Structure 1
Amino acid sequence: MNILLTTVGSAGDIHPFVAIGRELLSRGHAVSMLANPYFASTITHSGIGFVPLGDEVNFQEMMRIPNAVHPRKGGITVLRELVFPNIKLFYERATEVMREIRPDVVVGHHIAVGTSWACERLGVPLATCVLAPAMWFNPLDKSVYAQGMPENPHRWFTQLSLWLARLQMRSQYDRPVNAIRRDLGLPPQKNRVFDDTTDVGLSLGMWSRHFRGPLPGDPASGVICGFPWHDHSPKLDLDGDLALRYLDECEQAGDPPIVFSLGTAVVHVAGGFYHAAAEACRKLGRRGLLLTNRPEYAPKPSELPPGVRAFAYAPFSKVMPRAACTVHHGGVGTTAQGLRSGKPTVIVPHAYDQFDHAARTKRLGVSGTVWATKANAASLQRVLGQVLGDSQIAVRAREMGRQVAAEDGAIVAADAVEKYVSKR
């Protein structure tokens, strides 16, 4: 088969597609990926054909758009400021590429809205990758969509939240989105922000059944695949090697560190997080490993307590299993690696689906939560002390790690895509 992957977003939105693409390549399929040039080396290093989309993104500028990383307004802001204004560009580029390479199927990110429109226009089968369970918008699920929602919401609360969200999206965005469709010669639609994840020929749920299992009301075409695994960044290999050497030192001393990371997107609005992390380590008397994405986001070496080191990057798959605990922002890829590691975590959600991942891991009994708006040295110290001091959290984390590590979502997704195309 000839397969086109399309995705937008940060590394957490790219890596799952790289994992799926590598699996499809191993089966002899031709695979290309339409993505931002920022990720060209990551994609080509995996053997996948790279097709550029737009100019190279500047995540620092994106995340500093007012309210882009807001605990309640963040998702709407990203849609309004980043997704919707680029629908036409994505549609036109996807249409151009699809006419050129003639794919048998497109496997697209659910927020890459222009992909579904291009498939609609050209009659190309579409499989949608949904990376986070909350994005199936199932009213029977206990999804948490914003800071302040209950961590274990009653069904009626979820149903009301989704009803209000649909009402808001329909009133604010159906008209401008349909104006774009009209200009492109496409018929009007309703609720596509919601329905693009569910009302499709194949909806791939890229998470573990142990994280969120099947439920009545899931998409009829839905397949829960498991988490896909890829976390290699060729641009940052050298810094990753340095971080791993420090981990060797910690192991030789018999003192595994607490790892802190805010990923590749919200890290640009980290504020004093890494200073607070270092201070929490000092108060706890623990070693720390700060993964800051950029050197300038780290405290100066002279400001770090003994036993705390800062590096731009290290692959989570090699770091988290050797940590005492990992503190992270709750992006779905980082959450997946945390679960696979078999070690406890503390999640510091900032926006988007991060609150849902924090709530789910806490309900599973493998993680604690500190809201980003309340994250300081004292709150980190308190919750880390609770998590590290609870032997049952450690037991549950090990068992969850065993279950999640036994799965490979890329294999299941590739199977589902092959089956989907063969039936058409």
Structure 2
Amino acid sequence: MRVFVLALGSGGDFYPLLASAIGLAARGHTVTVLAGDWHEPSVRAAGLDFHPVLSSEEFARIGPMAQSLATPGGTWVAFFQHGVMPTVAPVYDYVAARVEPGNTLLVAPVQGIGLRLIEERFGVPLVTLLLQPRVHDWDQTNDEATRRFDAMYGPLINRHRRRYGLPPLGRSFKGWMVDTARMVGLFPAWFLSPQVDLPNQGRLSDFVLFDPAPAQATPPQLDAFLARHDAPLVFTYGTANRAVAEFFAAAAQACGELGRAAVFLTPHRHLLPDPLPPHVLQLDYVPLAALLPYSECLIHHGGIGTCAQALRAGIAQVIVPGAFDQYSNAVRVEALGVGKALAPHLLNAASLAGVLRGALDDPAVAARCRAVAARFAPGDGVEQCCEAILELAGRMPERR
């Protein structure tokens, strides 16, 4: 089949979709990845066709807008404004010129609006990949937040629908985006709490994790650092988050208080304390799969992919959530007994050091980390995801 995979968002959103695209290509399908232009090198390196549907300049506007809105829901508004809506026409126009009914498969995250319009217009199957277990949020169509969301974006979608010869929506825009019958959740059932997160009639896979080739694993300066410092702490606050100064300032002070070495993963070196202590190494990026097995704890923002990497590595984690699903992921990590959470408004060196002591000094946390890591098997997530995609596409249930 000809497969079009839409991969929106930052690294945590993009890489599971890329891993799924690679898995589908390995099964003999012709795959094109539609994504932001900054992801082209990763897609080309995987040997896949690529088409840009969003510029890095547009995506960069999300951060300032989210900060100006200064509400939890503001991050979603900013993401849709600058990370989703600008992709609708480029995605639709590119795929519409290449669609082959009966031989085309569409794969997208929940917010893959351009491909959802293609599905409706041409009758080709679209399988939705749910990156985070938050289905119940999308199923709520009568709350005030949903009404505001519909009022903001419903008219914009209807303009696209009119352009593409489709009737106006007769239902909630937020509800229209989600087809739970053809949905694959990229997380295992044991990660879910409460069970209302389970997709209705959809499928679940193990976590879908993308690991670069071993040759790309660790730079020389990291190897030298690990030779001097055993089991460092690892701090990261997401690939797209530029509001990191407070996080890393607290991290540097907390590591000094605890007497621990640390690796800071962020491309925003200018936002870090200057100079950094000698027991702290800053790197723009290192694959977590290459670093975490040699570390003792991961301190991060709570993105689902970052959580999963720590779970697989069998190390403790401390989450300082900031937006989207990160708060619920922090709750799940604490419920599993594999880490601790720290509210962002409580973040400072003393509070971070205290939470770290609780995660590092509790033998029950270490035991739970080992038990959870034992549930992972190499490659299972991608294989299960691809099987579910092809099964659901072949079943072709009617849209509700």
TM-score, normalising length: structure 2: 0.88
Query: Which secondary structure state, in structure 2, belongs to the residue aligned with residue 53 of structure 1?
Result: strand
Which residue matches 1:84? 85
Structure 2 stretches lacking a partner, 5+ long: none
Which residue matches 2:174? 193
Q: Which amino acid letter does the alignment assign opposite residue 208 of structure 1?
A: P
**Could you tell me how far 1:423 is from its partner in structure 2?**
3.9
Which residue matches 2:309? 337
> How big is the alpha-carbon RMSD for the aligned residues of Structure 1 and Structure 2?
2.9
Query: Which secondary structure state, in structure 2, belongs to the residue aligned with residue 118 of structure 1?
Result: helix
Q: Say if 1:24 and 1:136 are closer, same or farther in 2 by CA, change over 3 A.
A: farther
**Could you tell me how far 1:41 is from its partner in structure 2?**
1.0
Q: Say if 1:395 and 1:74 are closer, same or farther in 2 by CA, change over 3 A.
A: same
**Could you tell me how far 1:171 is from its partner in structure 2?**
4.0
Equivalent position to 1:374, from 328, 338, 346: 346
**Could you tell me how far 1:406 is from its partner in structure 2?**
5.7
Say whether residues 1:93 and 2:94 are aligned partners: yes
Measure the CA separation in 2 of the matches of 1:180 and 1:383.
49
Which residue matches 2:64? 64
- Could you give the per-residue CA deviations for residues 153-192 of structure 1, whole angstroms, max 9, x where no partner exists? xxxxxx7x98343333334433343233233322222233
- Could you give the per-residue CA deviations for residues 302-360 of structure 1, whole angstroms, max 9, x where no partner exists? x3234222111111011112111000111111111111111110011111111111111
- Could you give the per-residue CA deviations for residues 173-224 of structure 1, whole angstroms, max 9, x where no partner exists? 3334323323332222223334423345x20101122212794684444101
Q: Say if 1:3 and 1:66 are closer, same or farther in 2 by CA, change over 3 A.
A: closer
CA contact 1:227–1:407 (8 Å) conserved in 2? no
Measure the CA separation in 1 of the matches of 2:163 and 2:315.
51
Equivalent position to 1:298, from 268, 272, 280: 272
Which residue matches 1:265? 240
Measure the CA separation in 1 of the matches of 2:129 and 2:372.
24
Which residue matches 2:43? 43
Query: Which secondary structure state, in structure 2, belongs to the residue aligned with residue 272 of structure 1?
Result: helix
**29-38 or 61-70, which deviates more:** 61-70
Say whether residues 1:210 and 2:190 are aligned partners: yes
Measure the CA separation in 1 of the matches of 2:87 and 2:49.
23
Query: Which secondary structure state, in structure 1, belongs to the residue aligned with residue 51 of structure 2?
Result: strand
The structure, 1 or 2, with the larger RCO (C-alpha pairs under 8 Å, 6+ apart) is 1
Q: Which amino acid letter does the alignment assign opposite residue 365 of structure 2?
A: I
Measure the CA separation in 1 of the matches of 2:394 and 2:87.
33
CA contact 2:183–2:199 (8 Å) conserved in 1? yes
Measure the CA separation in 1 of the matches of 2:177 and 2:261.
45
Say whether residues 1:256 and 2:244 are aligned partners: no
Measure the CA separation in 2 of the matches of 1:59 and 1:239.
28
**Could you tell me how far 1:238 is from its partner in structure 2?**
8.6
CA contact 2:6–2:34 (8 Å) conserved in 1? yes
Measure the CA separation in 2 of the matches of 1:85 and 1:265.
18
CA contact 1:350–1:373 (8 Å) conserved in 2? no
Query: Which secondary structure state, in structure 2, belongs to the residue aligned with residue 334 of structure 1?
Result: helix
Measure the CA separation in 1 of the matches of 2:342 and 2:103.
45
Q: Which amino acid letter does the alignment assign opposite residue 209 of structure 1?
A: A
Say whether residues 1:395 and 2:367 are aligned partners: yes
CA contact 1:90–1:114 (8 Å) conserved in 2? yes
Q: Which amino acid letter does the alignment assign opposite residue 248 of structure 2?
A: Y
CA contact 2:232–2:263 (8 Å) conserved in 1? yes
Q: Which amino acid letter does the alignment assign opposite residue 273 of structure 2?
A: P
Aligned-residue sequence identity (percent) comes to 30
Q: Which amino acid letter does the alignment assign opposite residue 147 of structure 2?
A: L
Which residue matches 1:73? 74
Alignment of 1:133-212 (within 5 A): 133-137=133-137, 163-189=143-169, 190-199=171-180, 202-212=182-192
Query: Which secondary structure state, in structure 2, belongs to the residue aligned with residue 137 of structure 1?
Result: helix
CA contact 2:330–2:341 (8 Å) conserved in 1? yes
CA contact 1:70–1:350 (8 Å) conserved in 2? no
CA contact 1:279–1:305 (8 Å) conserved in 2? no
Measure the CA separation in 2 of the matches of 1:54 and 1:293.
21
How many residue pairs are counted as aligned between the two chains? 394
CA contact 1:263–1:329 (8 Å) conserved in 2? yes
CA contact 2:138–2:174 (8 Å) conserved in 1? no
Q: Say if 1:276 and 1:394 are closer, same or farther in 2 by CA, change over 3 A.
A: same
Measure the CA separation in 1 of the matches of 2:83 and 2:52.
18
Which residue matches 1:242? 221
Query: Which secondary structure state, in structure 2, belongs to the residue aligned with residue 50 of structure 1?
Result: strand
Say whether residues 1:274 and 2:248 are aligned partners: yes
CA contact 1:210–1:400 (8 Å) conserved in 2? no
TM-score, normalising length: structure 1: 0.84
**Could you tell me how far 1:23 is from its partner in structure 2?**
1.6
Query: Which secondary structure state, in structure 2, belongs to the residue aligned with residue 210 of structure 1?
Result: helix
CA contact 1:257–1:325 (8 Å) conserved in 2? yes
